[in-house]
Chain A
Amino acid sequence: DAKTTQPTSMDCAEGRAANLPCNHSTISGNEYVYWYRQIHSQGPQYIIHGLKNNETNEMASLIITEDRKSSTLILPHATLRDTAVYYCIVQGGSEKLVFGKGTKLTVNP
């Protein structure tokens, strides 16, 4: 079973920041938070991951709360091509990734 809870769907205006929340209240100390997205009919795409510090790369930023029980993926300037299903996953060590149902993000013009 997925260890995370995400909203089923969200909308965002093009050019605005998209903030996707994720709850992972049972996360263990050695578990990372991973974010993936899947654009229609394509394979999932890795976005970013973190342990306890905030992380940023060319795609997105990941904000993890101090107690690590929740996180937010931020797409700073959403475009129509960011419309996808976004998956938040908790995983530690060599465990397998378990994908939940994710959040369907729709970026509107």
Chain B
Amino acid sequence: DAGITQSPRHKVTETGTPVTLRCHQTENHRYMYWYRQDPGHGLRLIHYSYGVKDTDKGEVSDGYSVSRSKTEDFLLTLESATSSQTSVYFCAISTGSNKNTGELFFGEGSRLTVL
């Protein structure tokens, strides 16, 4: 296993509150990703990182920010949570080479409910 931990695994919060999800890896993989999964939409990429302080947007980045201050941690922040951000969030790391990053290992997911 690639050693990836997501926290919290479950969270219920209220609209307008900030939320931070953490993804922690125990190995030194360069690429990390945040996806969300919703019924009818499948998995959609929110943001990804290709190194410390190097991040970029995915297809559904509005309302989310990320930070990667050290290799092992990739944080996803909802500055002001909305009900549309109720979802299951998956973190992933790429265990492939830098030239081919498609071999991802996913975390167990964080289920977020915004009331």
Contact = CB atoms under 8 A, between A and B. Distances in A.
Interface of A: 32, 34, 36, 41-46, 49, 89, 91-102
A92 B102 CA distance: 8
| Secondary structure class of chain A's binding surface, majority of residues | loop
A94 B98 contact: yes
Interface in B63-88: 88
B111 to A, nearest CB: 9
A99 B43 contact: yes
Contacts of B90: 43-44
Given A41-B88, A44-B43, 14 more contacts: A34-B102, A34-B103, A43-B106, A43-B108, A43-B109, A44-B92, A91-B101, A94-B100, A96-B33, A96-B58, A97-B45, A97-B102, A97-B104, A100-B42
Given A96-B48, A96-B58, A45 B102 contact: no
A100 to B, nearest CB: 7
Contacts of B101: 91, 93-95
Interface in B17-47: 31, 33, 35, 42-45
A101 B105 contact: no
A46 B42 contact: no
A36 B104 CA distance: 9
A46 B105 contact: yes
Q: Which of B45, B99, B101 has the most CB of A within 10 A?
A: B101
Nearest to A96: B45
A59 B41 CA distance: 27
A99 B42 contact: yes
A93 B105 CA distance: 17
B64 to A, nearest CB: 15
A94 B99 contact: yes
Contacts of B100: 32, 92-94
Contacts of A102: 42
B73 to A, nearest CB: 18
A45 to B, nearest CB: 7
Contacts of B42: 99-102
Contact of A44 (B50, B59, B99, B106): B106
